[in-house]
Amino acid sequence: MNRIKNSLLVALVASFFTLTATAQRDSTQVVENVEQTEINWMSFEEAFELNKTAPKKWMVDVSTSWCGWCKKMDASTFADPIITKYLNENYYAIRLDGEEKADIVLDDATFKFVANGRRGYNELPAKLMAGKMSYPTIVFMSPEVQVYQSLPGYKTKEALLPILQFINGFEANPDVSWEQFNEAFTSPYTAE
């Protein structure tokens, strides 16, 4: 069932996004010179401030401390050197706790913790995920801090890399669909 939901969500991305021809060429180049082993995670506030002078696309990992799939994604997908290198070069990588109890302040907006049942949630991740609190969820945002797409569920490195490249390059060539991009994509990962 989750595979079907994930496939449908990825297909939805296709209706919203396009890619650059450069992103297709970069799929094989991303393997070269892989040296950095950790993602430069930052808080939402840090990315918000940096983005004022150096605009960039955002990839927000919304997770919780108790989420098993979030931990698995940290240990596998986000630990992969190809994913790490691509994220560090092309995105602000934000780690956001869906149940953050501290206020998150962005200029004149303050997002608070809302008690709800045994756990509760913070208003910012709830807004980014349109109230669909599911962990892990990856939220892609524009340099203008607008949500492009939110993709719930665990993603393998093989599934995440083409999505990262597609979203990173979609504005330059609006005529290429997700299906076209995915068909032309050459994975740097060998079949296991």
pLDDT at 33: 53
Confidence of residue 25 (pLDDT cuts 50, 70, 90): very low
What are the structural domains, with CATH classification, of the chain? 2-184 (3.40.30.10)
Mean pLDDT of the chain: 83
Which residues, in sequence order, are CB contacts of 164 under 8 Å at separation 6+?
59, 83, 86, 87, 90, 91
CB 16 within 8 A of CB 146: no
**140 φ, ψ to 5°?**
-100, 135
pLDDT digits (tens, 9 = 90+) for 158-191: 999 999 999 998 877 778 889 999 899 999 997 6
- pLDDT tens, residue by residue, 53-104: 999 999 999 999 999 999 999 999 999 999 999 999 999 999 999 999 999 9
- What's the average model confidence in pLDDT over 148-152? 94
- With b meaning 16 or more CB within 10 Å and e meaning fewer, what string describes 97-126? bbbbeeebeeeeeebeeeeeeeeebbbbbb
Q: Tell me: the pLDDT tens digits for 104-138?
A: 999 889 999 999 888 899 999 999 999 999 999 99
Q: How far is CA 169 from CA 34, 131, 163, 186, in A?
A: 20, 28, 10, 16
Higher pLDDT, 179 or 12: 179
Nearest CA among 182, 24, 158, 14 for reference residue 83:
158
Of residues 37 and 169, more confidence is placed in: 169
3-state helix, strand, coil in the chain (%, to 5): 40, 20, 40
Q: For residue 60, what are the β-bridge partners?
A: 94, 139
Using 50, 70 and 90 to split pLDDT, how confident is the model at 10? very low
Where helices occur in the chain by DSSP H, the ranges are: 2-16, 21-29, 44-53, 68-75, 81-90, 123-128, 157-169, 178-184
Contact 134, 128 (CB under 8 A): no
